[in-house]
Chain A
Amino acid sequence: EPEVTQTPSHQVTQMGQEVILRCVPISNHLYFYWYRQILGQKVEFLVSFYNNEISEKSEIFDDQFSVERPDGSNFTLKIRSTKLEDSAMYFCASRYGEGVDTQYFGPGTRLTVL
């Protein structure tokens, strides 16, 4: 069964460094998402991406964040200058169509900012 994959599974970085989290969505999917979960808190929506542009973003997704689909298979989340409060589990998701079509999630990347 096709699945969403994410790399790395765990990333440790120093405050102020740039990180790139990578995701490979399911190949025929058209809509892509990033969510995050700070330890002990809710899973929160960050951004959605369709047709090579951001379709929606939350208040969390400020200028330090960017997303890209550089080569038609990868979907990346970049944090330009990490802060301690960026430490969280980051989930990528994809879906084929809009509406009630299911979102499929990856296993997550745990980001630790020291």
Chain B
Amino acid sequence: GDSVTQMEGPVTLSEEAFLTINCTYTATGYPSLFWYVQYPGEGLQLLLKATKADDKGSNKGFEATYRKETTSFHLEKGSVQVSDSAVYFCALELNSGYSTLTFGKGTMLLVSP
């Protein structure tokens, strides 16, 4: 079945460090790919998305490129801030019918000053 695998956390970085959170997927069709973020005490918020191969999603300095050849959608940010501390979820959605999201386990990011 469809699945998403993310790197284990927590990821601990100092402010202004470069961030990569790896995400790979397995899907039978041609999914859309998403990164959601969950700040402490809040719900899941869409961070960025890409709907087809080679698309790049970006938001708030975060980027991820849909790589069909490696079935990956790694999240990157050039310079993290303390306020980026949160749990990041990679997810896929097949573009058919009442599409539902398939999530990874989530990766906690902790950024220290």
**Interface on A for B, CB 8 Å cutoff?**
3-4, 6, 31, 33, 35, 40-45, 48, 50, 55-56, 91, 93, 98-100, 102-108
Contact = CB atoms under 8 A, between A and B. Distances in A.
B101 interface: yes
B9 to A, nearest CB: 11
A107 B103 contact: no
Interface residues of B, number: 25
B100 A33 contact: yes
Contacts, number: 60
Contact of B89 (A4, A31, A43, A56): A43
A39 B35 CA distance: 20
Interface of B: 4, 32, 36, 41-46, 49, 51, 89, 91, 93, 95, 97-106
B23 to A, nearest CB: 13
B44 A56 contact: no
A98 B98 contact: yes
A55 B106 contact: no
A59 to B, nearest CB: 11
A45 B100 contact: yes
